[in-house]
Amino acid sequence: MNKLLVIACLVLMAKTEVSAQQFKVITSVESIVPNGLGRSRIISATEEKDYREYTSEQTEDDNTRNKSDRSEIRVKNFEETKLLNFFNIGGIRFQNIAANDALITSKINAMVAEGWELAFVTSGVESEGGKGDGQGIFITRYIFKK
C-alpha cells in the first residue's frame, strides 16, 4: 500500500512538472497626439510565432545571420479593439480615458474568464519631443499566464 502511494505521488509530481505554463501578451496603445489625430487600440495576436525561426547566434568566428525576410515576422491574424485618443481639439479628454479603462477592464475580465491570470503589467511612453514633433504614444503590455 505504501509503495502504491509513493508511486502515485511520483506520477502526480512528474505530471505537474511536465505541464508548462503558457503566456500571452495583450498590448494597449493609446495616442497622445494633440488634436485627436492619433490612433489608439488594444492589440492581441491570434496566431503564434516561434522566435527560433527568426533568431541567429552571433559568435566571434562566425557572423552568419538568419536569412529570413523581416516581412515573414509580421502577424497577419490579430484582434484590434478601437480605443479613444487621450486628446481632442479641446485638450486632454478625461471621458476618453475612462472609456478606455472600461474597454481594457473588459478585455482583462474576458481573459481571466478564459482561464488566464494577469501576471505582469509594464508600460512606457514616447512623448512629444519638442516644437513641431506632435508625436506620442502610451503603450501598456499586459502579460497573462496559465
Q: Give 85-98 pLDDT, tens digit per residue.
A: 888 777 788 999 99
How many domains does the chain divide into? 1
Q: Give the range among 27-31, 55-59, 98-102, 118-122 with minimum mean pLDDT.
A: 55-59
Q: Residue 63 has what pLDDT? A: 56
Residue 85 lies in a domain: yes
Residue 79 lies in a domain: yes
Q: Which of 13-17, 33-37, 121-125 has the highest mean pLDDT?
A: 121-125
Q: Between 144 and 129, whose confidence is greater?
A: 144
Residue 6 lies in a domain: no
Phi and psi at 121, nearest 5°, equal: -135, 130
- Taking the whole predicted model, whether its pTM rises above 0.85 is answered as no
Residue 53 lies in a domain: yes
Boundaries of domain holding 52 = 20-145
Rg of the chain over CA atoms, in angstroms? 22
Residue 10 lies in a domain: no
Residue 136 lies in a domain: yes
pLDDT at 6 over 70: no
Residue 14 lies in a domain: no
Instruction: Compute the average pLDDT of residues 25-44.
Output: 87
Residue 41 lies in a domain: yes
Model pLDDT for residues 48-81, shown as the tens digit of each residue:
989 998 888 888 776 555 556 777 888 889 999 9
